[in-house]
Structure 1
Amino acid sequence: MPPLPDGYRPLALPADRADEMRAVSRLAFAGTLDPAVEEVVPFSVPTDRLGAVEAPDGTLAGAHGSFAFTMPVPGGSVPCAGLTWVGVRPEQRRRGVLTAMIDHHLARCVERGERVSALFAAETAIYGRFGYGCAADDVRLTLPRRAALRPVPGADALTVRLTHLDAEEHADLVDDLHRRAGAGRPGWMTRDSAALRRRMVVDPPAWRGGTEAMLLATVHDAQGAARGYATFARKEGWEPTGPAYTVRVREAHALDAAATHALWSFLLDLDLTSTVESPMLPADHPLLHLLVDPRPAGPRLADNLWVRLVDVPAALAARSYAADVDVVLDVRDDRLPANAGTWRVRATAHGDVEVTRADGPGDVLLDVRELGAAYLGGRSLTAMARAGLVQVRDGYDVTGAAAAFGWPVAPVCSWVF
């Protein structure tokens, strides 16, 4: 890759320059500074994880940050750098600023021992060239009011309570239920800082887009224990035929099928409403199975997490495999040469894993981008081979390795970082 122009340099940004980083992001994303929002919404990116490229005059040409996550992977977890707030000033584009920032970010990941990096892509065409592969999808629904659900035993014994969302009162409850609802799901990042936990429950008027103040619905069992929650707000609407309010659901998570049924039954039958807009849901969410008629909901598939392996052998050894496997991967990685070459992966189903350097040709040849896409178990090596993105040695049957890399729980991150 071409070097930065003379006088430009990547750097770890000191905490006292965080406002400069945010100014770059506002320009890059056409954002506005709203003091009313800034007052109640905390800056959630750790200030010791900011990075930038500085121009010759000392201003920032581009900036980025990252979160220190522990990312769930099939059968385990791995240290993960959640890349975020990546932006380049409009007049500084086409100078290698983004490339320099990504390389600086990956170098810092190596230094910290973070085995993978993950992100949400504002533009999906950008990050593949840096080794990030789309590893998860989410589904979004626009449901008609009173959409019928199939019955679930125990749902009728649960009750729903409704209150206005309060950041001080409800942050811990929301965080606890979110963690428990996503336990064991690859990609399910938890909100581990006070700033992130608060960000999930604040409700500045500028974010409402014409809705009422945010509400909190919680599902409870006979002993009063909370089994699920939804944060949502209604937007007023009237048609010649009558009321046509929209229910906008920010989050909806439950601990079991009965609580899921009770929660969505409540959301789908609010007075004056005509449609319910779901949040991001995993591709195997129970609601998709409970709907008697899913067609009117118009399911829309969107890319979710993009994953980049920073330390290939450590990352592959950190996850479990759904079937016995013994495969040699020939990995290409132009940005992190230590990852490149052949790696033998030997594992028993849901058991021991060994990843070692291998000699000779690989069974499966792939770029680190495709390896990242397959890493959480939501992408098939067989499908990528059929698409020509993965090459398979003559005589090798890739279906066994594909089955091992797959996982019975669809990966997703339920919130955008």
Structure 2
Amino acid sequence: MTTELRVLRTSEWDRWYEGLDLAFGGVPQSAEKRELIRELTDFDRSLAAWDGDLCVGTAGSFRFEVAVPGGGLARMAGVTMVSVASTHRRRGVLTSMMRRHLDDIRGWGEPLAILGASEPAIYGRFGFGEATRLLKADIDTARVRLAVPDGTDAVRIRAAAPADALADCEALYAELVPARPGMITRLPGWERLGVLDAPENREGASRLQCVLAERDGRTTGYALFRTRPAWDDAGPKGTVEVQDLYGLDPASSAALLRHLFGIDLTSTVSMRNRPVDDFWQHLVSDLRRCAVRIKDEGYVRLVEVGAALEARTYRTPVEIVLEVTDSFCPWNEGRWRLSGDASGASCARTADAADLALDVRDLGAAYLGGARLADLAAAGRVRELRAGALAEATLAFESERAAWVPHDI
């Protein structure tokens, strides 16, 4: 049995999406969300694998820009909608789609690819490295108190309909993107995904709610959340489920969180996607009662090693030769001289002796500053070939803020 791989045609979208939907559990989505995803689909960047009239594989990507260490933006492909039908596993369908995808991404001049992996074990063989992690927490607000910073009381919290506040929220999000590696600029239309609120998708929680932080007539933060009511014999024990919380300054962030802590009939604030260095961890009275967990999140693939390393800056001066292995994209194989500092970088092929040796997967893991090269070396994933080179590179690749990819891909 053979499959045909080709770019998705507009007339094939329904069958393509049904195959994707089934591969991810087959639970029907609202018509509104389905129609929006169709509208956002970039057909020229979407692939379908066909066995006759049956769609047995899907893959897509979007042309984004991502914040990199130093505050700049780099072109990237957001790889998404990847699936293989259960009847066609282990037949090379995924490998053929990733081969075509990475070749296309290279041709489009995008030096990076990022994805969120449904199953982490899948993508390492294609050169994607675990580059960012996220924090989850369930804060016991009946027992945990907040010590808020000066200026918090001057911040006004105002409720607003999510759709009505969307323009202000998106402007604030855009302002914050360069401040943290991994944050992705929003393409037109994508902002609507975050405020879709079909009743069948709430799973017993309230409608989506929004509060804005304001000071001196300006929006300085926002939170999107739902409340999930619950009761026992002792009384109410509802949960505030936080979807987004962004503030331009410590007081605005703290004011938003204090509001969420104080919502009536609730005793838990639940977060499912926060940066690992999130501010609130230094405001709570008892971190043990916050049930903090860490989970892998964004996976980075350097499609063009030289261009990718030149797209970011480096926290300390670095002059180093990297010997890179890359079995899936052999054009990256070989030695690269990286020269950089906080003002910029150059990276070009060289015949000079290597200082560090590593696979492109581990270079991707370290690219946003999420994984430390020294930690990868301790795990045997990076080899130091010149004494002192590992310490030099580890410091240079670090980021002031923890890398985080909150944007849906």
| More deviation, 26-35/278-287 | 26-35
Tell me the alpha carbon deviations over residues 366-394 of structure 1, each in whole angstroms, 9 at most, x when there is no partner. 00000000000111111100100111115
Distance 2:49 2:405 in 1: 29
Compared CA separation, residues 158 and 93, structure 1 to 2 (3 A): same
Distance 1:193 1:47 in 2: 16
Distance 1:294 1:384 in 2: 28
- 2:201 paired residue number: 207
| More deviation, 387-396/237-246 | 387-396
Compared CA separation, residues 294 and 35, structure 1 to 2 (3 A): closer
1:18-417 paired onto structure 2 within 5 Å:
18-38=13-33, 41-43=36-38, 44-55=40-51, 57-75=52-70, 76-145=72-141, 147-165=144-162, 167=163, 169-194=164-189, 196-221=190-215, 223-348=216-341, 350-393=342-385, 395-417=387-409
Contact 2:33–2:193 under 8 Å retained in 1: no
Unaligned ranges ≥5, structure 1:
none
Once the two structures are TM-superposed, the CA of residue 266 in structure 1 deviates from its matched residue by 0.3
The TM-score, its normalising length taken from structure 2, stands at 0.95
The TM-score, its normalising length taken from structure 1, stands at 0.94
Contact 1:159–1:220 under 8 Å retained in 2: yes
Once the two structures are TM-superposed, the CA of residue 38 in structure 1 deviates from its matched residue by 4.1
Distance 2:48 2:203 in 1: 32
The one-letter code sitting in structure 2 at the alignment partner of 1:232 is F
Compared CA separation, residues 40 and 250, structure 1 to 2 (3 A): farther
Tell me the alpha carbon deviations over residues 74-130 of structure 1, each in whole angstroms, 9 at most, x when there is no partner. 122211010111001110111000011111110110111010100000001111111
Contact 1:231–1:251 under 8 Å retained in 2: yes
The one-letter code sitting in structure 1 at the alignment partner of 2:69 is P
Contact 2:183–2:404 under 8 Å retained in 1: yes
Distance 2:259 2:33 in 1: 33
Distance 2:231 2:344 in 1: 60
Compared CA separation, residues 366 and 126, structure 1 to 2 (3 A): same
The one-letter code sitting in structure 2 at the alignment partner of 1:172 is A
Once the two structures are TM-superposed, the CA of residue 35 in structure 1 deviates from its matched residue by 4.8
| More deviation, 185-194/98-107 | 185-194
SS of aligned partner of 1:365: strand
Aligned-pair Cα RMSD in Å: 1.6
SS of aligned partner of 1:253: strand
Once the two structures are TM-superposed, the CA of residue 338 in structure 1 deviates from its matched residue by 1.1
The one-letter code sitting in structure 2 at the alignment partner of 1:393 is L
Compared CA separation, residues 38 and 259, structure 1 to 2 (3 A): closer
Once the two structures are TM-superposed, the CA of residue 311 in structure 1 deviates from its matched residue by 0.4
The one-letter code sitting in structure 1 at the alignment partner of 2:153 is D
Aligned residues: 406
The one-letter code sitting in structure 2 at the alignment partner of 1:148 is R
The one-letter code sitting in structure 2 at the alignment partner of 1:106 is L
The one-letter code sitting in structure 1 at the alignment partner of 2:213 is V
Distance 1:20 1:382 in 2: 47
Once the two structures are TM-superposed, the CA of residue 300 in structure 1 deviates from its matched residue by 0.7
Distance 1:200 1:35 in 2: 14
Contact 2:30–2:200 under 8 Å retained in 1: no
Contact 2:73–2:178 under 8 Å retained in 1: no
Contact 2:356–2:389 under 8 Å retained in 1: no
| More deviation, 390-399/123-132 | 390-399
Contact 2:155–2:214 under 8 Å retained in 1: yes
Compared CA separation, residues 335 and 296, structure 1 to 2 (3 A): same
Tell me the alpha carbon deviations over residues 154-181 of structure 1, each in whole angstroms, 9 at most, x when there is no partner. 111111111343x3x2322221122223
Compared CA separation, residues 279 and 173, structure 1 to 2 (3 A): farther
Distance 1:361 1:12 in 2: 42
SS of aligned partner of 2:245: strand
- 1:12 paired residue number: 7
SS of aligned partner of 2:179: coil
Contact 2:317–2:340 under 8 Å retained in 1: yes
Contact 2:356–2:385 under 8 Å retained in 1: yes
Identical amino acids, percent of aligned pairs: 35
SS of aligned partner of 2:82: strand
Distance 2:307 2:253 in 1: 36
Tell me the alpha carbon deviations over residues 232-258 of structure 1, each in whole angstroms, 9 at most, x when there is no partner. 111110011111111111111111100
Contact 1:15–1:50 under 8 Å retained in 2: no
Once the two structures are TM-superposed, the CA of residue 396 in structure 1 deviates from its matched residue by 4.3
Contact 1:79–1:114 under 8 Å retained in 2: yes
Distance 2:184 2:407 in 1: 8
